[in-house]
A and B are shown apart, each in its own frame.
Chain A
Amino acid sequence: MQNNEETLDELENRLAQLRRALRLAMVERDAARVAQLRQQLHRAESLWEDKAAAEQPVSAADASDASAPAPVSPDAPVSEPALAALLPTREQVHQTLSLLEVPAAPKLITAVHEAFFPGELPASRLASLRRDEERSYRSAPNARPYYLCPALTADRLAPARALLTVSTWPLERRIMGAHSPRVDFLTTATKIASALISYSQLGPRWTPDAQTRAERLLRSFAVSIPGALGPPTLAGHVPALDPDQVGDAAKAELSVHLEVDRRQRSEAATWARDRLSEAERLFGNRLASVRNSASAD
Chain B
Amino acid sequence: MNTTTTRLNALRGGQPPVNHNARTLVGLSVNPGCARRALLDACGADKGTVARQAGHPWQFGQSRFALARGNAFEQQVKEYGGARLLALLRESLDLPVEQVAYIPLKSVGDSTGREQRYRQTCRALVGAARGGPDPGTLYDHPMLRLNVGGNDVYLEPDLIAFKIGDRFYIVEIKSFPVIDRQANGAQVAAATRQASIYVIALQDLFATNGLDPELVATSVFLVTPKDFGNTPIATLVDARKQISMLNRQLARMDRIDILLDLLPSGLTFDLAVDTTGVPTRPAANLAADLRRIPARYRPECMAHCELAGLCRDEARQNASLDVYGQGVVDIFGGVDTTHTALALAEGRQPSDDQAGVARTLRHAERLRAALAEGAA
Contact in complex: B86, A182 (CB < 8 Å) = yes
The residue in chain A whose Cβ has the minimal distance to the Cβ of B231 is: A223
- B64 shortest CB reach to chain A, Å: 16
Chain B, range 79-115, C-beta contacts under 8 Å to A = 79-84, 86-87, 90, 97-98, 100-104, 106-111
> Is there a chain A Cβ closer than 8 Å to B339's Cβ?
no
Among candidates B82, B100, B104, B116, residue contacting A288 with C-beta atoms closer than 8 Å:
B116
Chain A, range 128-181, C-beta contacts under 8 Å to B = 153, 156, 158-161, 178-181
The residue in chain A whose Cβ has the minimal distance to the Cβ of B113 is: A288
With a cutoff of 8 Å between Cβ atoms, the chain A residues found around residue B134 in the complex are 178, 264
The residue in chain A whose Cβ has the minimal distance to the Cβ of B137 is: A178
Contact in complex: B98, A256 (CB < 8 Å) = yes
Contact in complex: A181, B111 (CB < 8 Å) = no
Contact in complex: B104, A286 (CB < 8 Å) = no
The residue in chain B whose Cβ has the minimal distance to the Cβ of A176 is: B104
Contact in complex: B108, A178 (CB < 8 Å) = no
Contact in complex: A185, B81 (CB < 8 Å) = yes
Contact in complex: B109, A286 (CB < 8 Å) = yes
The residue in chain A whose Cβ has the minimal distance to the Cβ of B135 is: A178
Q: Which of B83, B98, B116 has the most CB of A within 10 A?
A: B83
Contact in complex: B106, A161 (CB < 8 Å) = yes
The residue in chain A whose Cβ has the minimal distance to the Cβ of B111 is: A288
> Is there a chain A Cβ closer than 8 Å to B136's Cβ?
yes
Mask: chain A, 196-227; 1 = CB below 8 Å from B; 0 = not: 00000000000000000000000001011110
Contact in complex: B80, A224 (CB < 8 Å) = yes
> Is there a chain B Cβ closer than 8 Å to A253's Cβ?
yes
- A297 shortest CB reach to chain B, Å: 10
A172–B95 Cα gap in the complex (Å)? 28
Chain A, range 242-297, C-beta contacts under 8 Å to B = 253, 256-257, 264, 285-288, 295
- Given A156-B109, A185-B81 in contact, is the A178-B87 Cβ separation under 8 Å? no
A108–B110 Cα gap in the complex (Å)? 23
A224–B101 Cα gap in the complex (Å)? 15
Among candidates A105, A185, A257, residue contacting B83 with C-beta atoms closer than 8 Å:
A185
Contact in complex: A181, B102 (CB < 8 Å) = yes
- Given A223-B84, A224-B84 in contact, is the A182-B100 Cβ separation under 8 Å? yes
- Given A156-B109, A288-B111 in contact, is the A181-B81 Cβ separation under 8 Å? yes
The residue in chain A whose Cβ has the minimal distance to the Cβ of B100 is: A182
With a cutoff of 8 Å between Cβ atoms, the chain A residues found around residue B363 in the complex are none
Instruction: Label chain A's interface by main secondary structure.
Output: mixed
Among candidates A185, A253, A287, residue contacting B97 with C-beta atoms closer than 8 Å:
A253
Contact in complex: A182, B102 (CB < 8 Å) = yes
Contact in complex: B100, A179 (CB < 8 Å) = yes
> Is there a chain A Cβ closer than 8 Å to B292's Cβ?
no
> Is there a chain A Cβ closer than 8 Å to B248's Cβ?
no
- Given A158-B109, A288-B109, A288-B111 in contact, is the A224-B87 Cβ separation under 8 Å? yes
With a cutoff of 8 Å between Cβ atoms, the chain B residues found around residue A221 in the complex are 80, 83
With a cutoff of 8 Å between Cβ atoms, the chain A residues found around residue B109 in the complex are 153, 156, 158, 285-288
Contact in complex: B98, A224 (CB < 8 Å) = no
Q: Which of B106, B108, B116 has the most CB of A within 10 A?
A: B108
> Is there a chain A Cβ closer than 8 Å to B366's Cβ?
no
- A268 shortest CB reach to chain B, Å: 12
A200–B103 Cα gap in the complex (Å)? 37
With a cutoff of 8 Å between Cβ atoms, the chain B residues found around residue A185 in the complex are 80-81, 83
> Is there a chain A Cβ closer than 8 Å to B241's Cβ?
no
Contact in complex: B110, A288 (CB < 8 Å) = yes
- B107 shortest CB reach to chain A, Å: 7
- Given A158-B109, A161-B106 in contact, is the A257-B80 Cβ separation under 8 Å? no
Among candidates A223, A253, A264, A295, residue contacting B123 with C-beta atoms closer than 8 Å:
A295
> Is there a chain B Cβ closer than 8 Å to A107's Cβ?
yes
- A267 shortest CB reach to chain B, Å: 11
A223–B76 Cα gap in the complex (Å)? 12
With a cutoff of 8 Å between Cβ atoms, the chain A residues found around residue B81 in the complex are 180-182, 184-185
- A131 shortest CB reach to chain B, Å: 13
A287–B116 Cα gap in the complex (Å)? 13
- A295 shortest CB reach to chain B, Å: 7
With a cutoff of 8 Å between Cβ atoms, the chain A residues found around residue B101 in the complex are 178-179, 182
With a cutoff of 8 Å between Cβ atoms, the chain A residues found around residue B108 in the complex are 156, 158, 288
A156–B87 Cα gap in the complex (Å)? 29
Contact in complex: A161, B104 (CB < 8 Å) = yes
Contact in complex: A226, B97 (CB < 8 Å) = yes
5 contacts between A and B (CB under 8 A): A105-B79, A161-B106, A185-B83, A223-B87, A224-B84
Ranked nearest first, the 3 interchain pairs of A and B with the lowest CB-CB distance are A181-B81, A288-B109, A158-B109
- Contacts A179-B101, A264-B134 aside, 6 further interface pairs with beta carbons under 8 A come to A153-B104, A160-B104, A178-B102, A178-B103, A224-B86, A225-B87
